[in-house]
């Protein structure tokens, strides 16, 4: 009992806003019905073939690119909170509208619109969380918020899976309403964070986060490790996109007519494992450099996704989903921490919009490429490819940590020097 209590002590003393956003994420993800079931909505309800559904999901990611870029710029100019409230409210309304449509391409296009609107808030949340935290409490904060998201996600897809067959309209309406309810907490209890504690950020020990002048591209040029990191994360995202695209289709192929409910149960298991193991993994890896933990998470991805190539027994799917989820915990918490620790406060919104365009490209092309592979070959062949990518990208991340060590050495050596301002024009 004392060990359990000790595990959760790292969540004490965090900023009040972090706890508010924690509750907000629970509520939001309790209604996370639509996007986990999107590939099944497209194929079974709207009637698209698998490869066409893959192209649609890829198009969904591609059209979000301008939204991310615009959102990143707005976040650094007019503020984080305002972008979150406006974009997520409009996205929720679009999702609710889908509940009053018949399954059709118009429904698919409206889901696409909601995704674009939700994308606007992604860099806003990233920047807000970086503003509210410090390197000392950042891992704990991201860990708590990730756990909160999965408290809701452990239940939401199960409810969505049960509603999917006969009550599709409530899948959309419930998703939109919970999003709006979660935004009420942010609107009431979270103030604007842009410019918060800038004097502290400029202290010697946080030089990487000190504000600079110049465009986001100039900033990234002075921090090449962020570019290399994002390129490797492209591979991680390519793998992880199959959790939401290929896996439900594979389950439907094995367990005819029960794929949605089986996938909902796996999603539930994923959420509960996150809730149970996030504090434990966070405590165990607290003193390990974020990039090394991310590399270890990549190995877990390779093991889990590669194993899907030969298993057909549902209990084995549950076991390997647990392994995948352990990797997910390591990757998610530490990637956000790594980026925040290497990003100047003045460019948090823009960096949080540019880097996902690189790493998120894996999400974009993953469904399209795998849709074609599994259509022309087999699910087993597709999962084998994903497993190989998993081990290769994990090895690349292990190599990248050597570059991170070199940067630490340079910082220590030049600790008495003042970081110069980047002199290019602003984006």
pLDDT in tens, the chain (427 residues): 556 666 677 788 899 999 999 999 999 888 888 887 888 889 888 988 878 888 888 788 788 888 888 988 898 888 899 999 999 999 999 999 999 999 998 999 999 999 999 988 988 998 899 888 888 888 889 889 988 887 877 778 778 888 887 888 999 999 999 999 999 999 999 999 887 655 455 455 566 676 777 788 888 888 888 999 999 999 999 999 998 888 988 898 888 877 777 888 888 788 788 888 988 898 888 888 899 999 999 999 999 999 999 988 889 999 999 999 999 999 988 998 888 888 887 788 888 888 888 887 888 788 889 888 888 888 899 999 999 999 999 999 999 987 775 444 444 444 443 334 333 434 4
Question: How far is residue 193's CA from residue 205's CA, in Å, rounded to a whole number?
Answer: 21
Residue carrying structure tokens 């602003």: 426
Q: Which CATH number fits domain 19-195+215-412: 1.10.3720.10, 3.30.43.10, 1.20.1250.20, 3.60.20.10?
A: 1.20.1250.20
List the structure tokens of 71: 């959102």
Question: How far is residue 390's CA from residue 397's CA, in Å, rounded to a whole number?
Answer: 11
According to DSSP, residue 421 is labeled P
Instruction: State the number of CA atoms in the 13 A half-sphere of 316 facing the CB.
Output: 12
According to DSSP, residue 417 is labeled S
b (16+ CB within 10 A) / e for 252-286: bebbeeebbbbbbbbbbbbbbbbbebbbebbbebe
How much is the pLDDT for 420?
40
Question: How far is residue 397's CA from residue 56's CA, in Å, rounded to a whole number?
Answer: 30
Contact between 174 and 306 under an 8 Å Cβ cutoff? The reply is: no
89: Cα separation from own chain's centroid: 20
How much is the pLDDT for 184?
94
In the chain, where the domains are located: 19-195+215-412
Nearest CA to 109 out of 155, 146, 63 is that of 63
């Amino acid at each position: 009992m004392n060990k359990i209590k000790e595990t959760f002590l790292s969540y004490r003393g965090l900023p009040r806003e972090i706890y508010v956003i924690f509750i907000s994420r629970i509520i939001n993800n309790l209604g996370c019905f639509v996007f986990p079931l999107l590939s099944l909505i497209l194929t079974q309800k709207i009637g698209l073939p698998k490869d066409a559904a893959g192209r649609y999901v890829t198009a969904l990611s591609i059209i979000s690119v301008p939204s991310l870029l615009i959102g990143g710029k707005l976040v650094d100019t007019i503020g984080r909170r305002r972008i979150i409230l406006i974009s997520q409210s409009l996205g929720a309304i679009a999702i609710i509208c889908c509940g009053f449509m018949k399954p059709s391409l118009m429904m698919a296009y409206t889901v696409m619109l909601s995704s674009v609107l939700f994308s606007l808030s992604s860099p806003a949340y990233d920047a807000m969380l970086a503003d509210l935290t410090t390197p000392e409490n950042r891992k704990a904060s991201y860990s708590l918020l990730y756990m909160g998201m999965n408290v809701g996600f452990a239940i939401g897809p199960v409810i969505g899976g049960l509603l999917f067959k006969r009550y599709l309209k409530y899948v959309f309406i419930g998703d939109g309403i919970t999003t709006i309810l979660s935004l009420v907490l942010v609107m009431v209890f979270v103030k604007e964070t842009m410019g918060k504690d800038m004097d502290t950020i400029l202290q010697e020990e946080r030089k990487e986060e000190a504000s600079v002048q110049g465009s986001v591209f100039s900033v990234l040029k002075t921090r090449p490790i962020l570019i290399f990191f994002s390129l490797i994360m492209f591979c991680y995202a390519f793998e992880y996109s199959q959790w939401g695209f290929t896996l439900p289709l594979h389950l439907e192929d094995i367990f005819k007519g029960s794929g949605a409910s089986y996938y909902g149960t796996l999603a539930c298991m994923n959420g509960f494992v996150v809730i149970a193991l996030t504090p434990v993994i966070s405590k165990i890896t607290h003193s390990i450099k974020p990039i090394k933990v991310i590399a270890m998470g990549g190995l877990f991805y390779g093991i889990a996704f590669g194993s899907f190539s030969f298993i057909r027994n549902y209990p084995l799917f549950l076991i390997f989903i647990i392994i995948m989820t352990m990797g997910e915990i390591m990757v998610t918490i530490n990637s956000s921490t790594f980026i925040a620790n290497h990003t100047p406060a003045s460019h948090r919104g823009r960096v949080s919009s540019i880097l996902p365009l690189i790493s998120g490209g894996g999400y974009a092309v993953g469904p399209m490429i795998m849709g074609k592979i599994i259509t022309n070959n087999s699910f087993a062949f597709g999962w084998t490819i994903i497993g190989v990518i998993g081990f290769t990208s994990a090895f690349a991340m292990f190599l990248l940590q050597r570059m991170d060590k070199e940067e630490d050495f340079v910082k220590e050596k030049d600790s008495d020097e003042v970081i110069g301002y980047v002199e290019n024009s602003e984006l």
